[in-house]
Structure 1
Amino acid sequence: MVQDRSDGRVAVVTGAARGVGEATARRLARRGLRLALLGRELESLRQVAAGLPTEACCIEVDVTDEAALNGAARSVQARLGPASVVVANAGIAAAGPFAASEPALFNRVIDVNLIGSANTARAFLPQLLRTRGYYLQIASTAAFGSAPLMSAYCASKAGVESFAQALRTELQPEGVDVGIAYLHWTGTDMIGGLDDHPVLRALRTHQPGPARRVHSPDQVADWLMHGINKRATSIYAPPWLRLVQPLRPVLPLIVSRVARRSLAALPVAELHSTTGVLGAGGRADWEAQRPAPLAPPTTPPQC
């Protein structure tokens, strides 16, 4: 269990420049952990670090770049020590009809959310084994029932759930605990302009009242921190989502039926006009890939 006092332990948070990653980093720092903040936007990471009450280092790194991420892990250990908590939070989303989406963008969502999570676990696993630490995989209710117009995101979140479940069983004998966090509507820039975006609005309109509520990143981070303290296997944000787990066998059918009804009234042109990556963080990642430069040999990133 993470203690309230400063004990010199180290936490790593990917996607820490904004939203849930930033809010979770702040709460970990308040518990006395030193922070390694990883992400694509170095200046934003530095702004987050400047407001933390404990030591922090910032590393600009793409979680899909396995070599760079391994270098980042070495830098974290050299600067702060081995990680006791790793929060695999980096993620992007894209919306719109599959047929109208850029293949490269679909692939990028899978790469960041799924492959990036696997890379994160692989890079920091030696440190977690040493500290008998805790790995938290940020997933989503998108893993419960796949929504149309969000095919890449839903596929990636279902994938990270399965990955983390397998990893949990493998690592439990080694003293490393693996948790999965299921996030619902969270007020990050990923869903900015929620009611103005036809895809997001359509997906949310016919959900029951409690399921339509948007929770702040701070509230979600509080729920995550409670789970991290307990080294929980599952964290639900909001907590009532645990009641949905027994219904998961029928959720895909329910989601499909509701989605067909809510999307029927939307003009096709409107759906196509809003196809693309969501949120400032996703745009920053996507723009960094276009055009994708050849990667010259580089030295490992430093804190």
Structure 2
Amino acid sequence: MDDSPGGRRARSAAASHPLRGRVAVVTGAARGVGEALARSLSGAGMQVALLGRERATLLKAAESLPGRSICVECDVTDRTALAEAARRVERELGPASVVVANAGIAVSGPFDRTAAELWQRVIDVNLTGSANTARAFLPQLTATRGYFLQIASTAAFGAAPMMSAYCASKAGAESFALSLRGEVEPDGIQVGIAYLHWTGTDMLSGIDDDPVLATLRRNQPRPARRVHSAAQVAQWLTQGIARRSRNLYAPPWLRWCQPLRPLFPALVARTTRRELRDHPDGAASSSGTVLGVGGRADWNSYRASRPSPPTDP
């Protein structure tokens, strides 16, 4: 170890700025939390690869970052495309030290009125897409003894009616990350799980128009109803990434909810059951709806890529 004054200063600088000069990959980075996190990590001195479906929006986000960055148009459900994205990241920026599985979409509506293909798409993006992301970048994380962050949600704490695909996918993503953590720790890779609550992204717009979800939010304690900006959430996440935290909470007080998780399903069921009983038509009359601009962009791109059904001669 270099114990000279210069060596000590270098070690002090590395400890003070643990992310500086390293490479981060963020999926779902075109907008919302992903875009805000890419900006925050870039501001912390990282080189950032932004992955997402919306090329023009990705380019705009990448061009506005203070540090070096690249953007890769990529569908996280496409393993071949992700493998190519991983090769490009390593070729242009170097091996990733931080990989954030953030890409996600949500659908609101009754299960029996949500198209099966749309319900499956939520699972494919939020759960399988996270696994695909880990698979593509694990070789790089092994080389760098890096950090993989799975973006989960308080939807994993207590599932809400009208959000069955989203809640199932986030609970599954949490379980996947917990399993992965035990497998890769011997290789020096740390796996973190981020639990996000109400966050001010376009996915949240229109939530209060859903009577069940609006009731659920209205019946939460006042601090729990607060909507936090994507920039604030990104700042909390960046702090956790710098510490290689096992569990990250946005807002931080959510950590005190972990011991209470066994109570949440019953509390959510009681609150929403009353709304469904009192307003059966308003609560369950609409079909499943994709939430947010990003979610709609993904769904439209997915449908456009599917082969058209054959027509009768």
Q: Shift of the alpha carbon at 1:255?
A: 1.2
Could you say what secondary structure the match of 1:189 adopts?
Answer: coil
Q: Please report how far the alpha carbon of residue 142 of structure 1 lies from its aligned counterpart in structure 2 after TM superposition.
A: 0.4
Q: CA deviation at 1:200?
A: 3.1
- Give the stretch that moved more between structures: 218-227 or 268-277: 268-277
Residue 256 of structure 2: aligned partner: 243
- Alpha-carbon contact 2:212-2:275 (below 8 Å) kept: no
Alignment of 1:45-56 (within 5 A): 45-56=58-69
Aligned residue for 2:4?
none
Name the counterpart of 1:227.
Answer: 240
User: What secondary structure is seen at the aligned counterpart in 2 of 1:191?
Assistant: coil
Change (3 A) 1:164 1:214: same
Q: Does structure 2 conserve the Cα–Cα contact (< 8 Å) formed by 1:197 and 1:274? A: no
Q: How many residues align?
A: 294
- Matched letter for residue 301 of structure 2: A
Cross-structure match for 1:69: 82
1:182 correspondence with 2:195: yes
Q: Deviations over 1:176-198 (max 9, x none)?
A: 00000000010100011333343
AA partner of residue 113 (structure 2): A
Displacement of 1:2 = 7.8
CA contact (8 A) 2:203 2:292 kept: yes
Residues of 1 paired with 2:40 and 2:15: CA distance? 11
Pair 1:136 & 2:149 matched: yes
What is the identity, as a one-letter code, of the residue corresponding to 1:185? W
* 228-237 vs 285-294, which moves further: 285-294
**Cα distance between partner residues in 2 of 1:274 and 1:48:** 33
**Match among 285, 289, 310 for residue 272 of structure 1:** 285
* Other structure's SS at 1:83 match: coil
The one-letter code matched in structure 1 to 2:158 is G
Instruction: For 1:113 and 1:2, locate their aligned partners in 2 and report how far apart those are by CA, in whole Å.
Output: 34
The alpha carbon displacement at 1:105 in A equals 0.6
The percent identity for this pair of structures is: 62
1:11 aligned counterpart, secondary structure? strand
**1:118 maps to what in 2?**
131
Which residue does 1:289 correspond to in 2?
Answer: 302
Which position in structure 2 is the counterpart of 1:297?
A: none
* Contact 1:189–1:280, Cα closer than 8 Å, also in 2: yes
Matched, 1:169 2:182: yes
CA contact (8 A) 2:34 2:102 kept: yes
| 1:50-95 residue CA offsets vs partner (Å, 9 max, x unmatched) | 1111111111110000111111101111111100000110000001
TM-score of the superposed pair, with normalisation by structure 1 = 0.93
Looking at structure 2, the residues matched to 113 and 5 of structure 1 have their Cα atoms a distance apart, in angstroms, of 29
2: CA distance between counterparts of 1:28 and 1:56? 11
Rg bigger for which structure? 2
AA paired with 2:143? Answer: R
SS at 1:54's partner residue? coil
Task: Please give the alpha-carbon distance, in whole angstroms, between the structure 2 residues aligned to 1:26 and 1:246.
Answer: 33
Aligned partner of 1:149 among 162, 166, 172: 162
Separation in structure 1 between the aligned mates of residue 18 and residue 193 of structure 2, nearest angstrom: 25
2:72 aligns with 59
CA distance in structure 2 between the aligned counterparts of 1:3 and 1:39, rounded to whole angstroms: 31
Q: Residue 10 of structure 2 aligns with which residue?
A: none
Distance 1:80 1:27 in 2: 18
- Tell me, yes or no, if structure 1 residue 262 matches structure 2 residue 275: yes
Deviation per residue, 1:153-191 (Å, 9 max, x gap): 000000000000011111111110000000001010001
Structure 1: runs of 5 or more not aligned: 295-303
Partners of 1:88 and 1:14 in 2: CA distance: 6
Change (3 A) 1:187 1:155: same
Partner Cα separation in structure 1 for residue 146 and residue 156 of structure 2 = 25
Q: CA RMSD in A?
A: 1.6
For structure 2, the 5+ residue unaligned runs are 1-13, 308-313
Please give the alpha-carbon distance, in whole angstroms, between the structure 2 residues aligned to 1:20 and 1:180. Answer: 15
The residue aligned with 1:205 is: 218
Taking the aligned partners of 1:11 and 1:117, their CA distance within structure 2 comes to 15
In the alignment, which residue of structure 2 is the partner of 1:79? 92
Rounded Cα–Cα distance in structure 1 between residues aligned with 2:246 and 2:252? 14
- d(CA) in 2 for partners of 1:207, 1:271: 22
